[in-house]
């Protein structure tokens, strides 16, 4: 304990040097202290704190996962695997490669990419060395990867966990650790072809996952910015007004307008003009109509966006997905880095989903109730350039599947369904009714494993037949290979079908083929 | 800048209070300082440091991943996927379920589980709320999961990244972020049956991955402890002597002995006796011989371990894996939590592997050169009990596949091989030789995608045929479906085999079947 005090004194006396700093105007010329010295003192103080903590009363051990995180149990993992297979299958069908990046990045890599949301980034403790942060999404690491490796063309998917120190509302399927499933196309290509493929992919995935009806809303940042300009929003208010528009899927128009006028200081007139535009929804026809709109036409930016929306819809028609896609001028999306087309998919069937938000566009209850976003994305042509020393741009467009919400829905469906979720794929249980047959069972299961059959045996010398059969019932194992003295003598195995309790003697030589035949997916 | 100095002064004057601490003997009675105050001062100092850093010359943006981490590019991911499929296939064949846990745990969950290695744990910054650390392995989170959910029986695998602030030697396949592939069996079962299955799994996986010859060394913590006791090692030196023995795979016996005697203060006589035992290798016969050994028999612990080794080998014989398994008394393994059987698999073929360690057992060069551990594990019957409020134990045994080293070897093999690693699975490229056929191509690819065919089209309105064919060559796409005015008129598609340049007109109605037929894995 005397030692403790000494550390403390040493820490203080070293720091005394920094008092002189008041007299100098430049940090550079503080002679008494350096960053390394501060590190040292900080380490000592933290050590002192650790020792204080160690003595501070009885420590209560809490058995839990970190706030906002969860374990996945085997059942949840089985569902997760199924969902991933569907999604990865689609990404591969579209010719995507995959990459992986570390879970943490240099802190500065993430700095200045997320606007206000930066406060939600998890930082690692400074334990000496680099300052690190957990990734907040997969898009910024992707852009860093492209710039670092000077890649100008790639179509890749990336499925991994990202981290946000958000206020978790876990009952609604929101976590601080959660998966993102991203598909992105980087490269200088002809307009709207990759953008249309991203929407085709969302359409395929949501259809295949069978989550109920959905709608994909599409808009363009340039149309939004142009609209703000022609409605008389001052340039420096585009961003903040945009983030207010983004709330239209959760708030009625009246409240959104109030925020614009009262909080953000927009004129009532400008707000009303915006209100008129953001209530518009349609398809290619709407884009054509707006291209004729006297006011909208004043903005070249908006016109470029509208022409692209038109082109996009022509490709979407060829892809046969226009049934679900809506051009919706109220769609804004929060992230700073979007530069063109943006989109968001929402489930429109009530009942299946965890979130019941207010309906759209100031008419609560008028339309089918939105149940929250399950996919979103857009074009971000400037992000990679932020990482390139020479600012060279690599145009990108991508989509992120909101997989956690999909998991929630699938879990609820599994709960509700009578069908049991299997957590293993075991085809056969090697069992015996008599004692002292462990050796024979191990010999048999070795044959099965070596032939690639998925098989289990109980880790008991003499388990009861009943408990062996019960295990099969519980885990959904379809077959039991039963060994007994008689079977060994006859060179056969009694193969039992768990569901029907049918039994048949199968010669040892035919067993593997017979198991394969009976368990092959028809 | 004046403000900076002020912060600094305030930090110092607050800390001045702690000088009084030298006079008191208990941390509790330091009246001048609390943990919260230290936090505050630390925050101020770090802020000061950040500002110092900010002014220290121009800030150079560094485009890199965090030290000791790496990205996986598409080629590496293709290899990784193949390796995972082999390993997961084996785990599933043995009836394992899978779980997942968060990447970070409460710091206290990891505390006291890793001995000296605890200093390698990554802590998250205290941003308010819980103190968190990145997981160091998958075993402790597994034990936490079992205790938290009161699970007493499970056979599970878990493949995920773990984090260690180690000095990375990345050229040798060691990282600060790396995968672990764990298979564990928890439950109260008859002796050595699950333990033997773990070794069977290691045998299957290493054989299937085709990494060259390997050897699985087996020992038992109880044999080590018993041996130390009968050789006259004082009780309080078991752990430290054990960790010295663990170095035998990297150091010759003479150096190990020197460390025991000179650094750890063991008597020369005791060291020599240990030296005799740890040079022993064999199979069931060695276990039998040692059970007759006058000295070893004095330890009941050692006898129990030896009997279990004997039983283990009898099961390994039934599993047909004794060809690769060696009972090796020099195997110690570092981790604190092992209580019984321990094992480690090493590749024994030179050339393929990144690490060339000194040969084993004081006879450098005598045996085939070890190329480092690729799997390891053992029994840990006490770990789950550390998390249970009532200390209820759940016996566990498991194995961890050293997947990063496996990746390294597979990558080297791929480098060396003439065969190209494909990073996508695209079956067909939809192409055209003429202009203005984008719409027709998009129509055709929609048909293909909707039928589940993996297909690509260039994101250009009028790409050159040559560049389309080149893309196929580069990505290993086997087929090209070529559209032209004539083909459209005739209702056919020209299907070209990239490898042979053969072309055939296929009617539109037959195209999907034809592509399937030609790209089905034979």
Q: What does A322-380 look like in DSSP terms, one character per residue?
A: GGGEEEETT---S-TT--SEEEEEEE--SSS-S--PPPSTT-TTTSPPP--EEEEEEE-
Quote the minimal CA–CA distance from A34 to chain B in Å: 8
Tell me if A9 and B19 make a contact (CB, 8 A cut-off): yes
Q: Residue B457 belongs to a domain with what CATH number?
A: 3.40.50.800
Check if the beta carbon of residue B307 is closer than 8 Å to that of residue B291: yes
Q: Nearest to residue A427, comparing CAs of B343, B94, B470, B125?
A: B94
In which element (H, E) is residue B257 found?
A: helix B253-258
Residues contacting A203, CB < 8 A, separation 6+: A216, A319, A321, A324, A325
Among A66, A106, A456, A472, most B C-beta atoms within 10 A, so best to mutate, is A66
Residue A252 lies in a domain: yes
Q: Which of B68, B73, B384 to mutate to test the interface with A (most CBs of A within 10 A)?
A: B73
> Are B375 and B409 found together in one domain?
no
Q: Does a structural domain hold residue A312?
A: yes
Record: contact A102-B16, CB cut-off 8 A = no
Does B370 share its domain with B259?
A: yes
**Domain for residue B168, yes or no?**
yes
Known binding residue B176? Answer is: no
| A307 & A372 share domain | yes
Is the domain of A177 the same as that of A246? no
| Helix (H) or strand (E) run with residue B222 in it | helix B221-230
CA A254 to chain centre: 32
Q: What is the pLDDT of residue A278?
A: 94
Q: How far is B505 from chain A (nearest CA, A)?
A: 24
Tell me which residue in A6, A28, A194 faces B459 most closely, judged by beta carbons: A194
Let me know if residue B182 belongs to a domain: yes
Q: What is the largest CA-CA distance in chain A?
A: 99
Q: Which positions in chain A touch B71 (Cβ < 8 Å)?
A: 99-102, 145, 148-149
pLDDT at B189: 97
Query: Cα angle at B78 between A74 and B89, to 5 degrees?
Result: 35
User: Using an 8 Å Cβ cutoff, are B485 and B434 in contact?
Assistant: yes
- Res. A512: pLDDT tops 90: yes
Does a structural domain hold residue B62?
Answer: no
Q: What's the domain count of chain A?
A: 4
Is residue B208 situated within a structural domain? no
Write down the residue that tokens 């929306």 correspond to. A309
CB < 8 Å to A16, chain B: 12
| Range A186-210 average pLDDT | 97
Q: Could you tell me if B246 and B334 are in contact, meaning their C-beta atoms sit under 8 angstroms apart?
A: yes
Distance from CA of A449 to the nearest CA of B (A): 7
Domain that holds residue B50: 2-55
Question: Does residue A1 surpass a pLDDT of 50?
Answer: no
Q: Are the C-beta atoms of residues B27 and A4 closer than 8 Å to each other? A: yes
Do A351 and A460 belong together in one domain? Answer: no
pLDDT at A29 over 50: no
Residues of chain A in contact with residue B189, where contact means CB-CB under 8 angstroms, are 459-460
In this predicted structure, what is the pLDDT of residue A59? 46
| Beta partners for residue A345, in sequence order | A216, A375
The answer to whether residues A240 and A349 belong to one domain is: yes
Q: Is residue A66 part of a domain?
A: no
Asked whether the beta carbons of residue B16 and residue A12 sit closer than 8 angstroms, the reply is yes
| Same domain as A449, residue A407 | no
Torsion-angle region of residue B43: left (phi > 0), alpha (psi -120 to 50) or beta? alpha
Do B410 and B463 belong to one domain?
no
Considering only CB atoms, A27 lies closest to which of B51, B149, B453, namely B51
pLDDT of residue B371: 53
Q: Which residues of chain B have pLDDT under 50?
A: 1-31, 53-59, 351-370, 522
Co-location of A399 and A357 in the same domain: no
Say whether B513 counts as a known binding-site residue: no
The pLDDT tens digits for A225-259 are: 999 999 999 999 988 898 899 888 888 999 999 99
From chain B, pick out residues whose CB is under 8 angstroms from the CB of A450: 320
Binding region of A for L-histidine: 137-139, 164, 180, 184, 333, 337-338
Cα separation, A339 vs A301, whole angstroms? 11
Averaged pLDDT, A306-315: 98
Residues B117 and B153 in one domain: yes
Token code pair at residue A441: 């069972």
A200 in a structural domain: no
ipTM of the complex as predicted: 0.83
In angstroms, the CA B467 to CA B477 distance is 13
Q: Which chain B residues are within 8 Å of A322, Cβ to Cβ?
A: none
Band of pLDDT at residue A36, cut at 50, 70 and 90: low
The token pair at A459 is 């880790």
Contacts with A363 (C-beta within 8 Å, 6 or more apart), sequence order: A252
Shared domain for A254 and A370, answered yes or no, is: yes
Residue A253 distance to chain B (closest CA, Å): 36
**Secondary structure of A60-85 as H, E, C letters:** CCCCCCCCCCCCECHHHHHHHHHHHH
Q: Is A405's pLDDT higher than 50?
A: yes
All residues of chain B having their beta carbon less than 8 Å from the beta carbon of residue A93 are: 449, 452-455
Contact A72 B126 (CB under 8 A): no
Among chain B residues, the shortest Cα distance to A177 is held by B102
Nearest to A27 among B18, B45, B55 (CB): B55
Distance from the Cα of B355 to chain A's closest Cα (Å) equals 24
Q: Do B175 and B217 belong to one domain?
A: no
> Which residues from B are below 8 Å from A34, CB to CB?
52
Nearest-Cα residue of chain A relative to residue B128: A165
Mean pLDDT estimate for chain A: 86
Residue B304: CATH number of its domain: 3.30.930.10
């Amino acid at each position: 304990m005397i030692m403790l005090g000494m550390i403390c004194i040493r820490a203080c006396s070293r720091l005394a040097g920094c008092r002189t700093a008041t007299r100098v105007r430049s940090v550079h010329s503080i002679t008494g202290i350096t960053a390394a010295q501060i590190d040292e003192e900080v380490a000592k103080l933290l050590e002192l704190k650790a020792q204080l903590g160690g003595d501070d009363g009885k420590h209560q051990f809490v058995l839990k996962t970190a706030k906002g995180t969860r374990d996945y149990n085997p059942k949840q993992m089985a569902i997760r695997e199924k969902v991933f297979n569907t999604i990865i299958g689609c990404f591969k069908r579209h010719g995507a490669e995959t990459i992986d990046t570390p879970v943490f990045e240099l802190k500065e890599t993430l700095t200045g990419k997320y606007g206000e949301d930066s406060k939600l980034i998890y930082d690692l403790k400074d334990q000496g060395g680099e300052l690190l942060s957990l990734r907040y999404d997969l898009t910024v690491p992707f852009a860093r990867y492209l710039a670092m490796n000077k890649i100008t063309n790639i179509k890749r998917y990336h499925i991994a966990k990202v981290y946000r120190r958000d206020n978790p509302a876990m009952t609604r399927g929101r976590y601080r650790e959660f998966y993102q499933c991203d598909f992105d196309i980087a490269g200088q290509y002809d307009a709207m072809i990759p953008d249309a493929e991203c929407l085709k992919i969302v359409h395929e995935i949501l259809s295949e996952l069978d989550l109920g009806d959905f709608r994909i809303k599409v808009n363009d940042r340039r149309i939004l910015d142009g609209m703000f300009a022609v409605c008389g929003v001052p340039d420096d208010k585009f961003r903040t007004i945009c983030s207010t528009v983004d709330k239209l899927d959760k708030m009625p128009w009246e409240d959104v307008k109030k925020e614009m006028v009262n909080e953000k200081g927009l004129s009532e007139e400008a707000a009303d003009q915006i209100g008129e535009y953001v209530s518009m929804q349609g398809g290619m026809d709407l884009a054509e109509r707006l291209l004729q709109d006297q006011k909208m036409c004043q903005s070249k930016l908006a016109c470029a966006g509208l022409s692209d929306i038109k082109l996009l819809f022509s490709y979407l028609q060829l892809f046969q997905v226009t049934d679900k896609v809506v051009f919706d001028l109220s769609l804004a999306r929060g992230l700073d880095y979007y530069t063109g087309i943006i989109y968001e998919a929402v489930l429109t069937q009530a009942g299946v989903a965890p979130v019941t938000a207010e309906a759209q566009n100031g008419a609560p209850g008028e339309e089918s109730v939105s149940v929250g976003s399950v996919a979103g994305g857009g074009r971000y042509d400037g992000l990679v350039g932020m990482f390139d020393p020479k600012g060279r741009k690599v145009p990108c467009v991508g989509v992120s599947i909101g997989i956690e919400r999909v998991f929630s829905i699938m879990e609820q469906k599994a709960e509700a369904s009578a069908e049991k979720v299997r957590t293993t794929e075991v085809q056969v249980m090697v069992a015996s009714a008599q004692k002292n047959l462990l050796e024979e069972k191990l010999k048999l299961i070795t044959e099965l494993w070596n032939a690639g059959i998925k098989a289990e045996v109980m880790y008991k010398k003499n388990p009861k037949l009943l408990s062996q059969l019960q295990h099969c019932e519980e885990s959904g194992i379809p077959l039991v290979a039963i060994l007994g003295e008689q079977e060994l003598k006859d060179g056969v195995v009694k193969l039992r079908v768990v569901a029907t309790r049918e039994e048949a003697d199968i010669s040892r030589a035919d067993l593997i083929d017979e198991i394969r035949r009976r368990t092959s997916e028809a």
